[in-house]
Chain A
């Protein structure tokens, strides 16, 4: 039974000797189904959705009134009213109001980075439990006023007399009244993410068919996972949705082949990226419950997987040295080397499908001898992964991609897959997560099925 809530002044349950590190485990997760923008969650704010995802997690694990060590989450598209988004969501949830929280933002890697940061705090003994998460709404996106209107409004606020105010208002021009909607364009290149990826896709000569196949597998794997009940303890319905609304269980290669390219059209015959093999704008939220082993044991909570390690990388896409979404290509070999692992040691690959072209360009770079030698500093190619181990329960092309919520979706699902698999070849099953992000960034991580330490 969940133990009584801690009092606000009570210290941690377990002390970690300085200089030592303990394990951080994934207890489980919860997300709301992801919805295509303008759909079921058109009227839901970031705070509504994050609170709903938290409340579902609290209900699943009986965390009502519990003081969690720390909650970290974030959103990529934020309103100014979202300045303390995570803390506000905690206050609106069934958790103890004495649970601290902070916001984090690293574009699409936000969710995964919250997991890594909080896991590190648990490993160091700073906290015993944590909830990582992310949320995004492209429906309820912040609309900014134009720079002209903004200046006028600020001056108006400072003006002291009526004539002064009228004079300021007279400065307004019709064009100042047009709102500034957010876009996914890169500030330094002016190109959208899709246009950037189209260049990379063409550079690595990724075929249209190969991209459609990734999309096809994503939909079919995700649909099969839902049918199997895989998501019964990972997803809680919200606003009438109980499955991701972007999911097309009946899509076919033929249907995907009929779609017209939407990105890279200036590339002429080489344009291969369609609405079918690119993720749509999506709304949604996800959460992951993390804890020390002792914390989980004291509450009879599951220990699905261990957060082993993580790595971030960034590329110089501004000068065209690498593609915008190619940072994980560099992060993964560094992470594997640090942990003394190769692709052979990985049983599940979770490569976020921003675009099918991203996944395939990433794999192509890893399989390329010359790239391995010249760019990764290896003797040859990093290696080829077994496609049967890739995104086996679907990924973003089918589920959708509410930017900051994707990391939490992947971590919770992967942790469950690892747990369901248990040991493989006498070692715990292992999974690799790779998430690309705007700004030429990428965050990758390794999770391992939980196994009790020797002698326990």
Chain B
């Protein structure tokens, strides 16, 4: 549910009042619903140079192939669902002006919940200073533009590594994700497509059909939302949580037609028990979502061993041990895709959360170093870093702090558990096969952090 304040300022009297007082006016975000169009209007595809490049032509053709109403130049006063700016050929900062200023007037015509997506090349892959400058410029440009958009519109970027092009499966997969309502709370972020690996699903509404997924910490909050979203996308599910949460876990399992595994993930043999359960009951394991996590906040000066160790133990040590079991498992015919839940606290830090941020920073490091190990086996691992998400965990934050925390982002509201779940479902799909070792923030472009 959208929070009460957002509901209040979205209609009638509340809307007028907020305007007069200059209060934040968060929009009701455009979220994915099966059967609704991918974007709320035509898609304008702009290339570099005189507006057209081979990369942008190919991309526009692919989008048209999805049945989208694709425009190569804007018509006056026509509402647009999205603007895709293809900058893959930019080799100098001077070359940004053309496409960017071509797109500029159309920003006013962007529909509520519209999307701006840039497609450019990673600067890390450029040896030439001018090329790197042009490419890195996109970073600052995109993040600033995201802060200028209103009415629930977002801007995100796709970065192409050396092995990827504008129509690589994961470029198209990421573009579809960013254009859709699935990315509602992702704003001002980049995803790097490193290779041409991956495969787009034949059925866009059931991209996980036939997959078996395990979700830890699934009894409530973000984990329960992940289970529901993966089920909606066609996956079979194993939901895991501590025995004491078994009743809520059973409810989730019955809702998503999965099996419940009551298990503390810090148990020494947790990895093997998860693998055995998935293989015996579901015939395999294709997706593993490390979601279970806890907070035990205290200023470091007041920190005790119990708080520190339990947070490290649940949030990162267990993930390392389970991944090790996965990599060593002989019963698995293929290595599962892994998505791990980090946190913006692990990127930007947060007062009172040294232990938690250490564990979540740890998740990011673990993901980066595990990616090459999984790449050898044709698999991938990524992290999703949620910002402020409305769950039982954040409901425990004192009211005033919570009210401030949820407005401190470009979308001026907290995200919903389902928003995190959407990003995870995308990264767990074969369409994201060319994306690995990445951290995707689902934070509404929180003011803190990278």
Contacts and interface: CB of A to CB of B under 8 A. Distances in A.
B251 A55 contact: yes
Nearest to A60: B260
A341 B267 CA distance: 40
B257 A236 contact: no
B254 A1 contact: no
B420 to A, nearest CB: 23
Interface string A218-252: 00000000000101110111100010000000000
A58 B254 contact: yes
Given A55-B251, A56-B250, A236-B250, A300 B260 contact: no
Nearest to A64: B257
A103 interface: no
A302 B279 CA distance: 12
Contacts of A235: 243, 246
A242 B260 CA distance: 16
A60 B254 contact: no
A300 B247 contact: no
A52 interface: yes
Interface in A59-111: 59-62, 64-65, 94
Interface residues of B, number: 23
A60 B262 CA distance: 9
B254 A94 contact: yes
Contacts of B283: 1, 300
B249 interface: yes
A59 B282 contact: no
Interface in A277-316: 299-302
Contacts of B262: 232-233, 236
B259 A62 contact: yes
Contacts of A55: 250-251, 254
Nearest to B243: A232
Contact of A237 (B212, B246, B282): B246
Interface in A397-424: none
Interface in A148-164: none
Contacts of A52: 247
Interface string B268-290: 00000000000011110000000
B21 interface: no
Contacts of A229: 243, 267
Contacts of B267: 229
Given A1-B212, A59-B259, A94-B254, A238 B282 contact: no
B249 A300 contact: no
Nearest to A226: B243
Contacts of B247: 52, 56, 236-238
A242 B243 contact: yes
Interface string B252-269: 011001111011000100
Contacts of B245: 237
A60 B257 contact: no
Contact of B246 (A65, A236, A300): A236
Nearest to A240: B247
Interface string A16-49: 0000000000000000000000000000000000
B236 interface: yes
Which 6 A-B pairs rank lowest in CB-CB distance, beginning with the nearest?
A59-B250, A59-B253, A59-B260, A94-B254, A62-B259, A236-B246
Interface of B: 212, 236, 243-247, 249-251, 253-254, 257-260, 262-263, 267, 280-283
Given A1-B212, A56-B246, A236-B247, 16 more contacts: A1-B282, A1-B283, A55-B250, A56-B247, A58-B250, A59-B253, A59-B260, A61-B281, A62-B253, A62-B258, A64-B257, A229-B267, A232-B262, A237-B245, A299-B281, A300-B281
